[in-house]
């Protein structure tokens, strides 16, 4: 498991996974349904990328995201309060 603390560490982790899978940036963009420029920005650590597209890229690479260190009870209370 990789701990992601910055946009740069996320980009580096995704670039490493893409290369391990021997995918080019255009191949990954096509598989994820995003543009090549988005992949370039994401791998470069751009902090303002769209989360929905990040999740598509992670999924296309066969990964998933997990949050750790959050109090489950507090998280559930927050979801209940916001109707999520």
Predicted local confidence at residue 66, as pLDDT = 87
In a domain, 26, yes or no: yes
For the chain, residues with pLDDT lower than 50 are: none
Please check whether residue 21 lies inside any domain of the structure: yes
Would you say residue 13 lies in a domain? Answer: yes
Domain that holds residue 40: 7-82
- What's this model's pTM, rounded to 2 decimal places? 0.80
pLDDT, residue 17, reads 96
Sorted by sequence, the CB contacts under 8 Å of residue 75 that are 6+ apart come out as none
Q: The domain that contains 40 carries what CATH number?
A: 1.10.260.40
Count structural domains, the chain: 1
């Amino acid at each position: 498991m990789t701990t992601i603390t910055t946009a740069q560490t996320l980009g580096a982790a995704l670039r490493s996974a893409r290369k391990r899978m021997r995918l080019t940036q255009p191949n990954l963009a096509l598989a994820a349904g995003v543009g090549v420029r988005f992949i370039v920005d994401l791998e470069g650590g751009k902090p303002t990328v769209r989360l929905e597209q990040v999740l598509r890229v992670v999924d296309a690479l066969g990964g998933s995201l997990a949050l750790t260190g959050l109090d489950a009870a507090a998280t559930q209370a927050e979801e209940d309060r916001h109707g999520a």
